[in-house]
Amino acid sequence: MAKVKSKAKSNGVHKKVATHIKRNDGIPFDANLFEGININRSAVERRAATIGKRRSVKKQWQAAWLLKAITLIDLTTLAGDDTPSNVNRLCAKAKAPVRQDLLEAMGVQGLNITTGAVCVYHNHIANAKAALGDSKLPIAAVSTGFPAGNIPLKEKLKQIELSVAAGATEIDIVVSRELVLRSKWKELYNEVAACRKACGDAHMKTILATGEIPTYTKVAKASIVSMMAGSDFIKTSTGKEPVNATIPVSLVMIRTIREYEEHTGYKVGFKPAGGIRTAKDALSWLFLIKEELGDEWLDPQLFRFGASSLLGDIERQLEHYVTGRYSASYRHPMA
Amino acid sequence: MEYGPAPESDSVAIEFLEKHKRSFNLFINGKWKKPASGKYFDSLSPGNKKKLAKISEANAKDVDDAVAAAKKALPKWIEIGPHARAKYLYALARQVQKHARLFAVLEAMDNGKPIRETRDIDIPLVARHFYHHAGWAQLRDKEMPAYKEVGVVGQIIPWNFPLLMLSWKIAPAIAMGNTVILKPAEFTSLTALLFAEICQKIGLPDGVINVVTGHGTTGAALVNHKDVNKIAFTGSTEVGKIIRRATAGTGKKISLELGGKSPFIVFEDADLDSVVEGIVDAIWFNQGQVCCAGSRLLVQESVADKLYKKIRARMEKLRIGNSLDKCIDIGAVVAPVQLKVIEDLVQQGVDEGSTLWQPSWKCPTDGYYYPPTMFTDVSPSSTIAQVEIFGPVLVAMSFRTHKEAVKLANNTRYGLASSIWTENINLALDIAPQIKAGTVWVNCTNVFDAAAGFGGYRESGFGREGGKEGLYEYLKPRVDEQFSSSPIGAAVKKGKAVAKKSNTPTIDRTTKMYYGGKQARPDGGYSEVVKNPAGESIGEVSIGNRKDIRNAVEAAHKGNKWGSMTGHSRAQVLFYLAENLMIRRDEFAGRISQMTGRSKADALKEVDTSIDRIYTYAAHADKYDGHVHHTPMRAVTLAMPESIGVIAVACPDEYPLLGFISTVIPLITMGNNVVVIPSESAPFSATDFYQILDTSDVPAGTVNIITGNKEELTQVLTKHDDVDGIWYFGTKAGSKDVEFLSADNLKRTWVNYGKYRNWMNDEEGEGADFLRHATQIKNIWVPYGA
């Protein structure tokens, strides 16, 4: 079991702030960067289908990868019926995501494993802040008329400012789908750039809502425009669209991240969100990131899962690793 | 973030080997039989060089036993009928699925390829092949009532996809009612032997499938066995040619699926990141040991450097290792001999000045590993750009224009497959038909399916595997059995010259050669007298020689208008031909009588049948179309019958006009250009036809006619490397010569083995079989998705 510790350490699970990554300040609007983009859906899907088949991690390696996955989760609750009590539970879980006896069995109890952040609506920022106390866990707030984004820009900016003022250090914005669907790229750039300005020091994750974008080519174009406008992360979905994070759409987006870095030198983060429920899924995403972007991106500063139930499955897999017995969800403290 | 080892368990596979005490006998007549020689050889796992088992070396005696068993099993296998055969095929498919992991593990161990590939690609395709052909077994007599089984079939398969190639061979063969002797490759016999066990288990009748293991000599014994009616071979072009020569004139049907140097064409508007993954699938799949590997990268100059950079980055991330590790991309090369071939060719590439690039990581040293390799600064004249390396080695070249891309792509003796990458469907569908290859993958590569035909153009062999087009390799027309052993409709000896004597002299007519739409004097300057059966001189005919043939072939290649016309336009010209022949019906009949001594009434019948036949093919011109195959992916898979190119025709001696029409017209109907040697004893129907061709808007170079000694001219044409195929209707010996000599450039041949058709009979003298021999099927895969 002690084997996990060295693997987990080399995976950097204990690092709260990894090596400093230069923030993406964006670049002036340049249509040349995206106009020639052509994405072939079938070929993307073929590659995506083999990601989880070409790679596999077992035993202590798998345990270490799953611990790593935990540190990359934005543990999320975004429901109409959120109240202080469930938000508090969420925060408690984020601080202590794995049962202590399991951590001890794996010898990783000293590594202070937490989730990457918690993600809540604006109204619960203060709440979360109190619940997280001095754990230094970041609070991400969804903003800008989440999830549909159909409110005036002025209102969007106001929301961002309020959330930052309330203590959110990460802001997940939604783009106006209308601008994407109507190919109003300059307008999209302006909107995202304005949001970024409003964020100030808070990191901005730009949600494209890919489930509502008809082609991968448009997803790629929207990704590039969002990065040009200064997004720290690009994010697939709100979790509220009919189709949320998928491996193929993620592949399209992270290839644009690679392209953008080659062009500008800025490293932009990626956050798949919605529908990621199993440890196996999470590993597939990690394989995808490692293969397409490299180990550097497997860091909370550059990669997050937007998920609520994923953690539960990872805990059960970790218990299986420790005990050799298949676990039940009620054996793990709920969020 | 290290991956660590992710081993697939080998325990069940080891159990299988141990159950056989790691020693395998031959599977003959449903029983395991010790090899007559008593000899065994070792089968190794290339990933760690460990011995897996001892395999029997079958000799001629064993092959004889296996053929006898297959022959004995044949009548009953035919008798049980389509539905019973379908049930057996279905059972085989189910068994492969039920034991899929054992097959996958055993295959990976024996061959060295990654378990991911055997598990996710090879074995699922095997099951699919048996399911699909269970269906064809059921439908045989309903869909193809004019055909029957060929008989006893010998099948020789390679080591790169051992069980998959077994399925490609066995499934269509037994579905069509044949019995089989299969020889696996000596490096990879194990899954075939496991398959034999499954045949026993499902109660497949004894002798329907026999497995004889061994080396080349075992294969040779099978090829040369007199009771084998067909040989199906997948392997090297070199051995394919040997098989062509060895079976020449025997009447054995053969299908050859041989080597390749397949182009992978990237246009500047392609999705380059997807292209990179395509290249991984093209050349780093199965260690590049793939006959249709996209080994020649042709990339538009504007994006070449960008693409090369992306490829290098991707290569760095490939993982190589033991075949049972679930976390690798590349396994071991099959054997030291193959590793040496790769190493030598790579060295030659370096020596010739091309730039080599390999990833920074090192290969494991406990097996036969070779790293992924890319060459840039390669030109078509580089050895590595021409020779099939059969390893993980990509050679890259750039092109300037679309035209140049096509030229570079076709600048090879091979023609197995090709891949085209562009987001522009106009461009893709423009280029696809221009590539000389049996398979064209648009924005994908190395995708296979039982419903799509696979096979080569040029020296990549002939015949198709998969799809309806593949079934004909295991069928023969029922009508073939009613052919006569002597010519039908031969000249009548006692007949008298029909031409009336006249007091005034007629104008002396000399028939010349006809090529490039013009009449031309023979190069040699010789003519000879043609006599009627009564021995009277009826005129002079030019004697063609090899230079006339050369000129005619050149003219045929130059005349590229006919092939680019639509079926509708070709039909119009053919109808016009018939119309113009009709006007001169009487004259052509007179000529036939004059040459053959047959009655005028009989000759008129020949002319009328010829006109009827032209109509038949004119009718087919815009109707003999292809299929859209049901491949199980989101794609349109088009099976297009394409013209073969320039075809030589040695016409039957009998029926001077009808024999000419019956052979030439189907070929040109399908868009081929032809070089024709008309009836030697009665050439004037063909030479009179020049004028019909001239007045019927047949473009220059479509039909080229050289008169003279049939066997001599046939030889010249058969040895001509720019002739793509030959139809020969003549003697048994002549048929053998054609098949033997065609081996050098692997022409498509169709010969009569000295069996004679009744050309006056529609059943024998025309039909779909003619059109099939006049075309080759190209499968174009077009995946789609917005």
CA distance B373 to B395: 9
A304 falls within a domain: yes
A238 falls within a domain: yes
CA A68 to chain B, closest CA, distance in angstroms equals: 9
A151 falls within a domain: yes
Determine what percent of chain B is predicted with pLDDT higher than 70.
Answer: 98
Provide, as residue numbers in chain A, all residues whose Cβ is less than 8 Å from the Cβ of B4.
Answer: 7, 57-61
Instruction: Tell me whether A36 touches chain B (CB under 8 Å).
Output: yes
Over the stretch B68-116, which tens digit does the pLDDT of each residue have? 999 999 999 999 999 999 999 999 999 999 999 999 999 999 999 999 9
Tell me, rounded to whole angstroms, the distance of Cα B301 from its chain centroid: 33
Instruction: Tell me whether A295 touches chain B (CB under 8 Å).
Output: yes
A20 falls within a domain: no
A43 vs B116: CB contact, 8 Å cut-off? no
Q: Is A82 helix (H, G, I), strand (E, B) or coil?
A: coil
Q: What is the model's pLDDT at position A54?
A: 96
Q: Under a CB-based contact definition with an 8 Å cutoff, are residues B333 and B391 in contact?
A: yes
Q: Which residues contact A15 (CB under 8 A, 6 or more apart)?
A: A299
At A167, phi and psi to the nearest 5?
120, 5
Q: What is the model's pLDDT at position A1?
A: 63
Tokens 């170079």 sit on residue? B701
Ranges of chain A whose pLDDT falls below 70: 1-2, 16-19
Tell me, rounded to whole angstroms, the distance of Cα B122 from its chain centroid: 22
Q: Which residues contact B587 (CB under 8 A, 6 or more apart)?
A: B688
Q: Is B73 helix (H, G, I), strand (E, B) or coil?
A: helix
Of B3, B281, B785, which has the smallest distance from its Cβ to A41's Cβ? B785
Q: Which residues contact B350 (CB under 8 A, 6 or more apart)?
A: B356
Determine what percent of chain B is predicted with pLDDT higher than 90.
Answer: 96
A333 falls within a domain: no
Interface test with B, best of A4, A15, A40 (most B CBs within 10 A): A40
CA distance B17 to B11: 10
A240 falls within a domain: yes
Cα nearest neighbour of A67 on chain B: B1
DSSP characters over B413-431: S--SEEEEE-S-HHHHHHH
Q: Is B342 helix (H, G, I), strand (E, B) or coil?
A: helix
Q: What is the model's pLDDT at position A2?
A: 64
B271 vs A43: CB contact, 8 Å cut-off? yes
Closest CA to B515 of B565, B549, B464, B545: B549
Residue type at B732?
A: K
Active site residue B327: no
Active site residue A68: no
Q: What is the CATH number of the domain that holds A80?
A: 3.20.20.70
A32 falls within a domain: no
Cα nearest neighbour of B441 on chain A: A43
B277 vs A53: CB contact, 8 Å cut-off? no
Cα nearest neighbour of B320 on chain A: A54
A334 falls within a domain: no
Among A12-21, B434-443, B692-701, the range scoring the smallest mean pLDDT is A12-21
Cα A202 to Cα A162, A170, A302, B135, B711: the distances in Å are: 12, 5, 14, 63, 88
Instruction: List the 54-73 stretch of A: residues with Cβ below 8 A of B.
Output: 54-61, 65, 68
Q: Are strands B703-705 and B673-677 parallel, antiparallel or unpaired?
A: parallel
Tokens 């009827």 sit on residue? B612
CA distance B256 to B235: 8
Cα B226 to Cα B130, B246, B251, B743: the distances in Å are: 29, 11, 10, 20
Cβ burial of B492 (10 Å; 0-12, 13-18, 19+) is middle
CA distance B525 to A85: 108
Q: What is the model's pLDDT at position B406?
A: 98
Provide, as residue numbers in chain B, all residues whose Cβ is less than 8 Å from the Cβ of A68.
Answer: 1
Could you tell me which residues are beta bridge partners of residue A118? A75, A139
Q: Is B395 helix (H, G, I), strand (E, B) or coil?
A: strand
A68 vs B317: CB contact, 8 Å cut-off? no
Structure tokens belonging to residue A273 = 């969100």
Q: What is the model's pLDDT at position A17?
A: 58
Q: What is the model's pLDDT at position A19?
A: 59
A57 vs B327: CB contact, 8 Å cut-off? yes
Structure tokens belonging to residue B691 = 């004028």
Please pick, among B199, B291, B444, B651, the residue that the annotation labels catalytic: B291
Over the stretch B165-215, which tens digit does the pLDDT of each residue have? 999 999 999 999 999 999 999 999 999 999 999 999 999 999 999 999 999
Provide, as residue numbers in chain B, all residues whose Cβ is less than 8 Å from the Cβ of A181.
Answer: none
Instruction: Tell me whether A280 touches chain B (CB under 8 Å).
Output: no
Of A40, A50, A55, which has the smallest distance from its Cβ to B443's Cβ? A40
CA B3 to chain A, closest CA, distance in angstroms equals: 6
Q: How many CB atoms lie within 10 A of CB B550?
A: 14
Cα nearest neighbour of B327 on chain A: A55
Chains A & B: contacts with CB separation below 8 Å: 80
Query: Given a cut of 60, is residue B67 above it in pLDDT?
Result: yes
Tokens 């019973």 sit on residue? B84
Q: Is B278 helix (H, G, I), strand (E, B) or coil?
A: helix
Over the stretch B476-515, which tens digit does the pLDDT of each residue have? 999 999 999 999 987 776 545 455 555 666 677 778 999 9
Provide, as residue numbers in chain A, all residues whose Cβ is less than 8 Å from the Cβ of B270.
Answer: 38, 40
Structure tokens belonging to residue B276 = 């990179």
Q: What is the mean pLDDT of chain B?
A: 96
Using CA atoms of A71, A77, A82, A88 in order, give the dihedral in degrees to the nearest 10: -10
Q: Is B582 helix (H, G, I), strand (E, B) or coil?
A: helix
Residue type at B384?
A: I
B444 vs A46: CB contact, 8 Å cut-off? yes
pTM for the predicted model, two decimal places: 0.96
B786 vs A214: CB contact, 8 Å cut-off? yes
Cα nearest neighbour of A286 on chain B: B1
Q: Is residue B783 reached through a cis peptide bond, with omega within 30 degrees of 0 on the bond before it?
A: no
Provide, as residue numbers in chain A, all residues whose Cβ is less than 8 Å from the Cβ of B281.
Answer: 46
Structure tokens belonging to residue B621 = 């011109």
Tokens 């000899």 sit on residue? B39
Query: Given a cut of 90, is residue B650 above it in pLDDT?
Result: yes
CA distance A90 to A96: 10
Structure tokens belonging to residue A319 = 């218990």
Residue type at A61?
A: W
Tokens 């070792």 sit on residue? B42
Structure tokens belonging to residue B197 = 């066990």
Interface test with A, best of B8, B274, B302, B312 (most A CBs within 10 A): B274
Instruction: Tell me whether A150 touches chain B (CB under 8 Å).
Output: no
Instruction: Tell me whether A262 touches chain B (CB under 8 Å).
Output: no
Over the stretch B538-585, which tens digit does the pLDDT of each residue have? 999 999 999 999 999 999 999 989 999 999 999 999 999 999 999 999
Please pick, among A93, A271, A281, A299, the residue that the annotation labels catalytic: A271
A68 vs B2: CB contact, 8 Å cut-off? no
- How does DSSP classify residue B454? B
Confidence of residue B634 (pLDDT cuts 50, 70, 90): very high
What interface predicted TM-score (ipTM) does this complex get? 0.95
Chain B residue set in contact with A, beta carbons under 8 Å:
1-7, 116, 120, 269-271, 273-275, 277-278, 281, 317, 326-327, 329, 423, 443-444, 634-635, 783-786
CA distance B510 to B758: 31
Structure tokens belonging to residue A121 = 């609506």
Tally the residues of chain B.
786
Q: What is the model's pLDDT at position A335?
A: 87
Cα nearest neighbour of B7 on chain A: A58
Domain count, chain A: 1
Active site residue B444: no
Q: What is the model's pLDDT at position A8?
A: 87
Q: Under a CB-based contact definition with an 8 Å cutoff, are residues B241 and B740 in contact?
A: no
Q: What is the domain range of residue A68? A: 39-323
Q: Is A19 helix (H, G, I), strand (E, B) or coil?
A: coil
Provide, as residue numbers in chain A, all residues whose Cβ is less than 8 Å from the Cβ of B635.
Answer: 42
Provide Rg for chain B, Cα atoms. 28
A54 vs B4: CB contact, 8 Å cut-off? no
Cα B436 to Cα B56, B411, B648: the distances in Å are: 40, 9, 19
Provide, as residue numbers in chain A, all residues whose Cβ is less than 8 Å from the Cβ of B785.
Answer: 40-42, 45
Of B270, B273, B634, which has the smallest distance from its Cβ to A42's Cβ? B634
H or E element at residue B635? strand B635-643
CA B446 to chain A, closest CA, distance in angstroms equals: 12
CA B281 to chain A, closest CA, distance in angstroms equals: 10
CA distance A89 to B461: 69
Provide, as residue numbers in chain B, all residues whose Cβ is less than 8 Å from the Cβ of A11.
Answer: 1
Q: What is the model's pLDDT at position B347?
A: 98
CA A121 to chain B, closest CA, distance in angstroms equals: 33
Please pick, among B257, B469, B473, B606, the residue that the annotation labels catalytic: B257
Q: Does residue A281 come out as left (phi exceeding 0), alpha (psi in the -120 to 50 range) or beta?
A: alpha
Structure tokens belonging to residue A318 = 């970790």
Of B2, B277, B423, which has the smallest distance from its Cβ to A38's Cβ? B423
Please pick, among A129, A221, A235, A267, the residue that the annotation labels catalytic: A235
CA distance B473 to B461: 13
- How does DSSP classify residue A232? S
